[in-house]
Structure 1
Amino acid sequence: MSFFGKNIKKIRSVKSLSQQAFAELFDLKRGTLGAYEEGRSEPKIDTIIKIANYFSIAIDKLLTDELTVNELLKFKGDLTTYAEDIKREQFAVIPCITESTAGEYISLYNKDNFVKELPTIQLPVNPAKKFRGYTVLNLEMTNHDQGFYPKDIVIGEEVPSNVIKKLNNGTLVVVLTDSKLIFRRLYITNNNVVLRADHKNIEDEEYPISEIKELWRVRYVFCKRIPEFADGMEDKLQMIEQELLRMKEKLR
């Protein structure tokens, strides 16, 4: 007599899995699983192997012994409950403004239901802080083929209005005004913010701080390509080396 049906029923009980959930793990129909548990049908060998491997239970144990709860809890694999005692790291869930939602965000930015429906990014950052993702839409922040391109994503940390003046000039920010979402560099002049693009042909935009609805200081960047981190460093080192050689020649 096979103990397979009793054992998988006990596994489900220990793991708090419904028949449907257990069946889906192994591409079975719920009715088929019910037939196994009630002894009305015997499983195929590949099904037995899948279940045994998944829960790290020896096949002969699964078929010929009635497993106890204590035995089941000692097995490795997904069945064990040790993971429930681990303090899991909580990633921050960050709403992300995309090309298709940018227009709506301007008017609905303060509606919780709308923000909750935005696509999200999860990052291992402080979940107590407030972040917003923004998808770059244009070439305003490019300069000589360097910088940010459409579809790049920047992640900004919220800056309260009373802290805006304390930001360093040149800080990358995403700013929400009455009519625009703007990704640029921030410069402070008296009680105004000047938003400057890296692209030389784009004019500055200036707003009173009092008109800024939201300002997010860029903290993280995700690019759709591998950036050139060297920034001409190799050429600069070669120039320094040549200059040192020239100086040596003069000293001789």
Structure 2
Amino acid sequence: MSFFGKNIRKIRSVRSLSQQSFAELFDLKRGTLGAYEEGRSEPKIETIIKIANHFSIPIDDLLTKELTVNKLLKFKSSMITDHEEMVREQFAVVPCIVHSNSNDYKRYFDKEDFIKNMPCLRLPISKETNYRGYTVDNLEMSNHDKGLFPKDVVIGEIIPKSGFKKLDNGILVVVIYQDQLVLRRLYITNDTVVLRADHKVVEDIKVNLKEVKELWRICYVFYHRIPETGDGLEEKLSLLEQEFARLRSKM
């Protein structure tokens, strides 16, 4: 008598998998899997091998022994832990600046131990890129009802100092200089960095390029609310302004 049906039902229970999810994992129909579990049908040898290999269970044990939950948890050290770890590994871990740690980040941004203990976001983005997250806490990058508002989150790629001058004018950046951390638009002329807010009443910040301690190029934005969509006219005008500024910087 084969214990295959009972064992795969127990595996599903341990892994919290529905019949449909388990069937899709091995290119089976849900009805076929149900027939296996109820002992109304026997699987092909190819299917047995796939399932045994996937869960690192000896084929002999899968077919001839009624596996206990404890035994299942011992395979691959821990079936649950390994599954969770496998899911985590698909996401990049992004240290995130929030209100409570922003002052400390300005002092310890280059300390590995501090970065490791920061709150983190797990996102399906490249794990090869060095990212930072920042929670917006002011209205400087808002313009009427558009732009970035408090509790929005931006994700930026850390740019090495050798790459600062290669960045396009007008891009959104987070910059650390002196004892300040700001989210602004970047404009560089020679060795002068201009950090410009989208809010019209906020004055530009001008610093020497050498004063910039860290700079991230913003790649992703997560809004705390659903932003309104317009006809794109303001975005087009903004792109034109950026292009004019770039041309002026080359003259």
The offset of 1:166, in angstroms, is: 1.1
Q: Within 5 Å, which residues of 2 pair with 1:99-248? A: 99-231=99-231
How has the CA–CA distance of structure 1 residues 232 and 112 changed in structure 2, closer, same or farther, with 3 Å as cutoff?
A: closer
Report what 2:61 is aligned to: 69
For residues 137-156 of structure 1, the C-alpha deviation after alignment (integer angstroms, 9 at most, x for no partner) is 10000112111000100000
Aligned pairs, how many?
173
User: Is the radius of gyration larger for structure 1 or structure 2?
Assistant: 1
Answer yes or no: is the 8 Å Cα contact 1:173–1:183 preserved in 2: yes
> Aligned AA for 2:94?
I
Q: Call closer, same or farther: CA 1:105–1:73 in 2, change over 3 Å.
A: farther
Identity %: 47
CA drift at 1:192: 1.5
Structure 2 segments unaligned to the other structure (5+ residues): 1-5, 17-35, 40-59, 234-251
TM-score scaled by length of structure 1: 0.60
Query: How far apart are residue 128 of structure 1 and its match?
Result: 1.2
RMSD over equivalenced CA pairs, Å: 3.6
CA contact (8 A) 1:152 1:221 kept: yes
- Distance in 1, matches of 2:128 and 2:232, equals 39
Give the match for residue 95 of structure 1: 95
User: What is the SS of the residue equivalent to 1:213?
Assistant: strand
How far apart are residue 178 of structure 1 and its match? 1.9
Q: TM-score of the superposition, structure 2-length normalised?
A: 0.60
Unaligned 5+ residue runs, structure 1? Answer: 1-6, 15-21, 26-55, 60-67, 234-252
CA offsets, 1:85-125, max 9 Å, x none?
9x866311000000111011111111212111111111121
